[in-house]
Structure 1
Amino acid sequence: MDPVVVLDAEMSVAAARSVISLAGAHEMLVVRRPDPRTPGAVLWYSLAPDDRDRVLGPTVDDQMPLGVSLDLHEHGADKVRQLDDAEVVDGHWTGLVIDGSRPVGWMWGVPLEQDRGPSRGIDFGARRPMAPPPDAAPPEPTRGIDFAEPPPMAADADAEAPPAPAPAPAPTSESVQAFPRVDVPETVPPSATFDVVVGLSQQAQPGVQGAKMIIAVPADHSTSQLTLQIKAENFTVAQVRRDLVFDPSDITAHTANFQLTAPAVTEPWQGRIEVEYSQNGLLIGTAWREILVAPDAPAQAPTSTSGGEVAVNLDQTVPIDLTVSISRGEAAGTFLWTFTTPHPVQLPDEQVITHLEQDTAETFALRKIREMAQVDGNPTAGLRIAGVATEVAGVMPLWFWKVLAPVWRIAKDAGRLPTLLLVSQESLVPWELATTDEEFIVDRTLVDPAAPQLLGAQAIVGRWRPAGPETPSGIRRPSTTPAESMAVSSLAVVVGEFGPSSGMKSLKEAIEEGKQLTTTYQPSVWVKATADEVASLLKGELTDRGDPVVAQVLHVASHGEVDPDSPINSGLILSDSSVRIDESIVIGSSFTKSAAPLVFLNCCQLATETGGALIEGGLAAAFLRAGARAFVAPLWNVNDTIAKDTALAFYAETIGNGRGVGDVMRELRGRFSTLDGQNQTTPLAYAYYGHPGLILTRQETH
């Protein structure tokens, strides 16, 4: 066996660089990370050469945790074997060998049938000889080179293990990595019919910054199927869905063809063809190519090299009942929809495209949100909500409801609620407010009659935004995948304290909210909503009793304001400055990049004539782009007392009781039915960006 050097996922990139520089030529680098799903359990990740380059790269933040820099997720952990495992004893294992939780070494086995690499599919080259014994004793263990037993993760004593949101697929023994292959002509004549060839490749296609998809291999290494869906606005598509045979022994062996017809344009027009890949009902990646439709197109055009690829690494053991992808179309107010599910339900056999008749997404969304804000506490609130809910549902495609109903039935028969993930380039329309009344959900045995008839109060819903562009360091923000779990040791709680001289309403409940959170979830830190303290926090320079503030949750209880006519005056309001914490300031936050926190903006938006959404298209996108792994905030101004109660209940149920964030958000929205004769709209105001099954676990600091 080769020796291994163990890195801690929580150590800084700077410390990791130092350790890596000292590692010998025959020492394998592995990263140790506590498993947030199981107290005391450990996950292991081998550090490939390209991963080392990313850690050593000069553009990576020195203070960023190594695990954040490498974008480690539970599903990407390596398979390991115990020292007494039969494969290890027989010499057939390739990968990390452990004794209990202690790493023993890296083994290069010779399998009986085929060369088998680590489960992440990383190729480390030919088998290497064992390293000779070192001449000198090894260095004393440091934080980065530590072979001791890892400290167990603490969990709330009263917490119960949450049930899985959906049944897990058949277990797999390993995975392979592959690039998308989407062959599209560079140019075609108007009205021409042509083929798009889709498959898998060992390398990224020319002209495209490649993104490797992780594909699960069946335990018996047999062939399986991937599902392909195509989106091509303005093109005629003969069949929008195809199966692709996946052979783990030869990933390039099979392809699938889509037949398209170009639009009948009279001038050159640039189009886009996008293909989604899914496995076991979960998205694993997308790829797109640009194509020119021109009257003077040659008969035989070369393959397009303009486009891009994104891998989506959702955990195969945490399925989602329905993933809805929403892309903006060419025209304002146009959306393209696709549906992915692990369940055997009928899916559309044509492209699903919707159009807002008179609005752009922005005008439609802001109009609906303003209407909700205007009736908070008014006897007409229930009527307004019902009307807005019907209008939102009415602009969703019929196919959404035709797919949702049978998926919901399958979940209901299994004794649980359906989980939905909305992956949307469009982050403005409040889809969660869509009605679930009898016009849209005909089977009334599916819904909870005691809860509001709204999608976000009936189902477990999470939103996400498509991954941002890849940087030279290999990082994408937002990340390709919403986190399925987060270990939380402390909160940074920003509290707005507004005195008489501020000219703003005092938020007594926000102050009480901050006190209760910092007392309950020690060692959390209170941060005054002043320019100095908030700037220091976002720069990653804030200290608490001399120690740097480290927090996995950023909670803000303060005022917020939106002025569509003056964006510079929009954002989080500071108690001693006219400067707002806006999108640009958030994107520049090194704290958000390094901590990758859950962000909860519990901001009581100032009532203005313009109204508008505090987060949509603004701070939500900004925080996710800056590295946040989840985000919660109200869409309109909220009641101070109810906002406090909502925040305290959120953390009590998620961190305290171990319940999924999406399910807790559903339940909190349901409080609308019981508050003040259904006149308070605050419970319905909260939007949630993150995995519908996200679990927050309590982790003690050491």
Structure 2
Amino acid sequence: MYLHEVAMDTFVLLQAGWPAGEARQLIERLEPTHVIVHRTEPEDYYYLYARAEALDRLAHAPEQMSIHDAFDLHEYAATPTLEAYASAETAPDRGVVVEEGRVIGVFDVTIPPVAGPKRARPKRGIRYRGLEPGGPVPRSLVTDFPEQVHLEEVVSLLVSLSAESEPGPALPVALPMGTSVDVVVQPKRGFVLEGTGEGSLVITDEEETLPLQFRLKATELGPGKVRVLAFHQGQPLGAITLAPTVVPVAQAVDAQRRSHEQPTASLSVHQPDLSLLILEHESDGQPAFTFRLTALDPGLGLNLKRFGPVQLRMDPLQYCQDFFKDIETLPLRTPQDKAIAEQRLAAKGAMLFERVIPEDLQVLLWSLRDRIQSVQVQSEEPWIPWELCKLQGEEDGRVVEGPFLCEAFSMTRWLPEIGFKPTLTLKKMALVVPKDSGLPFAASERDYVLSLANGGRQVERIPATFLDVRSALKSGEYDGWHFTGHGGFRAPDPNRSAMLLENRQELMPEDLSGVVRNLGLAQPLVFLNACQIGRGAMSLTGIGGWAAQFLRAGAAAFIGAYWSVYDRPAHDFAQALYNCLLAGMPIGQAVQKARATIKPLGDPTWLAYTVFADPLATVQ
């Protein structure tokens, strides 16, 4: 059993530099079972305490004393960090469980797990017999793979659909009979594919389908990682992550094969015209992207059709930081400045299209520009602004430029390992607007969002303090969150980028961990409208870190800006967006229309926003 399967998420994460009084209040309000203290200097250390132990250490500490001093933190006393996909059977008795640098849980054999709020899920173990013809049937995606593999050995990964719901973290959901489930295998660490990495399964009345077989070669000693992604007509259904260990040839291996089960998500009735899956990997020692395109129109013959790979000669995050900094420095004082800025933006979008999109895919997208309306981009990295790629093609031997992707189509993004959430509700919205932001349009935006309240919708102001915001997030009561204020990016860890609250208090993506992840119970739409005062220099917002954390917590949609935008257009964008959404327009189209509304203002704000959602999701 992997650690992430047994780790508790009933913790609260504190920073070592915070005041002891604030830490004590937070623990008392959130009532976690455990407290994790994160120290970042001289390097990352974590310290794990039971709730009572942490409160005891804080009981006599002065209010303004740092947690570091109150707990007397030393490197030698740090709690070990444990990989999420390490074996629970061989783990130490206590540890902080991390996945790709994110804290996801605690492992403590001395304290039994405490049941907390649960997301609504189908009942387990039900076979759903006697369904009407054409009705939904429950199935689960199942994999079978060895726990240990010899270096250079080639082994088979089996993937099938099962009618049984076995004990474990996954739950089956109902899918229509005859539904095709497309499977993509993505080696992440320690393995390479030998042969094809994709295949299809079909929902039938059999107890278990014949498995797909994929061959993987072990190439690197140590913990490996293989991801199995599932789709239907380009829609993400979920993912399974396998973590086999690669051992030397001379070492005996455990012949046991581990079976994993993962729920497949409910399918949306409507599907986008194009779904573009972008997978990051290494090619000849360089970071690279491979693209897989699916079209709703079967006549196009596109179902996870492969394009690429495209090799990147630079670090994607660094490239995007430089890309946005170039936009930030564009002068916009005069009409001529704005005209020049428009041309420079067009050139940057065209260059991005040329550099990151394979040539044959460029040609195809250009040919389809008048035949499609909605586009969904699914990528694991949230940094590259795919929305800002500018279409171009050739006509009569001349290069012709088209619109930006987000201008041409109702375009959204998503993370491929998370199933779509096609419905938004907005029945109980939370509004966070710091009183001391100094933003001229903040009060107007606040009043507008408050005006959205009616007989069927509540809008509640949450005091813009760290304690109040985290407490409200933890409650899981709000299906809409609107933040207005300042944001900032902190390299190299985007999970420490900040939204400024009142009195310069900061909320960071890593604060959305532990019990605060209950924010996802209501599957909210989250809108971070990070603004700036006047025409000063803009700053990056690290929006990718926010998007990933909110979506993994269970948010149905996330909207934010790649860089800190100007106050007036940000206000107008928000108003246009909500007007369209609440009139019944799908979110992808609503964002497209909101961009067009503020484009005439003449600054880059209309291109700044990124949206993670099902593009056809509507407010019910």
User: So what's the TM-score if we normalise by structure 1?
Assistant: 0.60
Does the 8 A contact of 1:199 with 1:244 survive in 2? yes
Does the 8 A contact of 2:481 with 2:527 survive in 1? yes
Query: Is 2:619 the partner of 1:669?
Result: no
Query: Is 2:162 the partner of 1:201?
Result: yes
In structure 2, the CA distance between the partners of 1:189 and 1:627, relative to structure 1 (3 Å rule), is: closer
Q: Counterpart in 1 of 2:263?
A: 311
Q: Counterpart in 1 of 2:18?
A: none
Does the 8 A contact of 1:229 with 1:240 survive in 2? yes
Q: Paired residue for 1:385, among 333, 345, 354? A: 345
Does the 8 A contact of 2:151 with 2:221 survive in 1? no
Query: Is 2:408 the partner of 1:458?
Result: yes
Q: Paired residue for 1:323, among 271, 275, 288? A: 275
Tell which deviates more after alignment, 232-241 or 290-299.
290-299
Cα distance in 2 for partners of 1:284, 1:59 equals 27
Q: Counterpart in 2 of 1:357?
A: 313
Cα distance in 1 for partners of 2:197, 2:427 equals 46
Query: Is 2:423 the partner of 1:485?
Result: yes
In structure 2, the CA distance between the partners of 1:257 and 1:574, relative to structure 1 (3 Å rule), is: closer
Query: Is 2:239 the partner of 1:276?
Result: no
Q: Counterpart in 1 of 2:120?
A: 70
Cα distance in 2 for partners of 1:310, 1:240 equals 19
**For each residue in 1:307-338, what CA deviation from the matched residue of structure 2 results, as whole angstroms up to 9, or x when unmatched?**
x6543414242223333333443678444544
Cα distance in 2 for partners of 1:294, 1:607 equals 59
Unaligned residue ranges in structure 2 (runs of 5+): 1-112
Cα distance in 1 for partners of 2:360, 2:266 equals 24
In structure 2, the CA distance between the partners of 1:273 and 1:687, relative to structure 1 (3 Å rule), is: same
Does the 8 A contact of 2:486 with 2:500 survive in 1? yes
Cα distance in 2 for partners of 1:196, 1:622 equals 30
Query: Is 2:377 the partner of 1:422?
Result: yes
1:363 to partner: Cα distance: 0.8
**For each residue in 1:642-695, what CA deviation from the matched residue of structure 2 results, as whole angstroms up to 9, or x when unmatched?**
11111111111111x11011111122233465333xxx0001111111111110
Q: CA RMSD in A?
A: 4.3
One-letter amino acid of the counterpart of residue 255, structure 1:
P
In structure 2, the CA distance between the partners of 1:290 and 1:396, relative to structure 1 (3 Å rule), is: farther
In structure 2, the CA distance between the partners of 1:581 and 1:228, relative to structure 1 (3 Å rule), is: closer
Does the 8 A contact of 2:496 with 2:509 survive in 1? no
1:571 to partner: Cα distance: 1.6
Counterparts of residues 292-303 of structure 1 (less than 5 Å) = 296=249, 302=255
Q: Counterpart in 2 of 1:684?
A: 607
**For each residue in 1:78-118, what CA deviation from the matched residue of structure 2 results, as whole angstroms up to 9, or x when unmatched?**
xxxxxxxxxxxxxxxxxxxxxxxxxxxxxxxxxxxxxxxx9
In structure 2, the CA distance between the partners of 1:194 and 1:392, relative to structure 1 (3 Å rule), is: same
In structure 2, the CA distance between the partners of 1:210 and 1:572, relative to structure 1 (3 Å rule), is: closer
Q: Paired residue for 1:396, among 334, 352, 357? A: 357
One-letter amino acid of the counterpart of residue 199, structure 1:
S
Query: Is 2:195 the partner of 1:238?
Result: yes
Cα distance in 2 for partners of 1:197, 1:618 equals 33
1:212 to partner: Cα distance: 3.5
Q: Paired residue for 2:141, among 154, 179, 196? A: 179
Does the 8 A contact of 2:498 with 2:508 survive in 1? yes
Cα distance in 1 for partners of 2:470, 2:310 equals 40
In structure 2, the CA distance between the partners of 1:343 and 1:561, relative to structure 1 (3 Å rule), is: same
Q: Paired residue for 1:123, among 100, 123, 127? A: 127
One-letter amino acid of the counterpart of residue 239, structure 1:
T
1:217 to partner: Cα distance: 0.9
Query: Is 2:517 the partner of 1:513?
Result: no
In structure 2, the CA distance between the partners of 1:237 and 1:455, relative to structure 1 (3 Å rule), is: farther
One-letter amino acid of the counterpart of residue 217, structure 1:
M
1:356 to partner: Cα distance: 1.7
1:610 to partner: Cα distance: 9.5
1:211 to partner: Cα distance: 5.1
Cα distance in 2 for partners of 1:566, 1:277 equals 29
Cα distance in 2 for partners of 1:536, 1:528 equals 7
Cα distance in 2 for partners of 1:310, 1:402 equals 37
SS in 1 for 2:616: coil
Q: Counterpart in 2 of 1:287?
A: 240
1:175 to partner: Cα distance: 1.7
Cα distance in 1 for partners of 2:446, 2:492 equals 32
In structure 2, the CA distance between the partners of 1:238 and 1:125, relative to structure 1 (3 Å rule), is: closer
1:402 to partner: Cα distance: 6.2
**For each residue in 1:384-406, what CA deviation from the matched residue of structure 2 results, as whole angstroms up to 9, or x when unmatched?**
32233133322234465466567
**For each residue in 1:451-487, what CA deviation from the matched residue of structure 2 results, as whole angstroms up to 9, or x when unmatched?**
xx111111222222355xxxxxxxxxxxx32321122
Does the 8 A contact of 1:187 with 1:293 survive in 2? yes
Does the 8 A contact of 2:462 with 2:472 survive in 1? no
**For each residue in 1:587-626, what CA deviation from the matched residue of structure 2 results, as whole angstroms up to 9, or x when unmatched?**
4547734443211111214799996531433222233344
Counterparts of residues 544-623 of structure 1 (less than 5 Å) = 551-564=478-491, 570-575=497-502, 577-587=503-513, 589=516, 592-605=519-532, 612-623=539-550
In structure 2, the CA distance between the partners of 1:688 and 1:181, relative to structure 1 (3 Å rule), is: same
Q: Paired residue for 1:60, among 113, 116, 125? A: 116
One-letter amino acid of the counterpart of residue 172, structure 1:
G
Cα distance in 1 for partners of 2:405, 2:165 equals 39
1:549 to partner: Cα distance: 11
Cα distance in 2 for partners of 1:563, 1:276 equals 31
Cα distance in 1 for partners of 2:481, 2:150 equals 51
Q: Counterpart in 1 of 2:65?
A: none
Unaligned residue ranges in structure 1 (runs of 5+): 1-56, 62-67, 77-117, 127-170, 219-223, 468-479, 499-503, 543-547, 698-702
**For each residue in 1:437-461, what CA deviation from the matched residue of structure 2 results, as whole angstroms up to 9, or x when unmatched?**
2269x9999x9x6xxx111111222
Larger radius of gyration: 1
One-letter amino acid of the counterpart of residue 438, structure 1:
G
Does the 8 A contact of 2:534 with 2:567 survive in 1? no
Q: If each structure's strand is expressed as a fraction of its own residues, which one has the higher value? A: 2
In structure 2, the CA distance between the partners of 1:247 and 1:667, relative to structure 1 (3 Å rule), is: same
One-letter amino acid of the counterpart of residue 694, structure 1:
A
One-letter amino acid of the counterpart of residue 196, structure 2:
Q
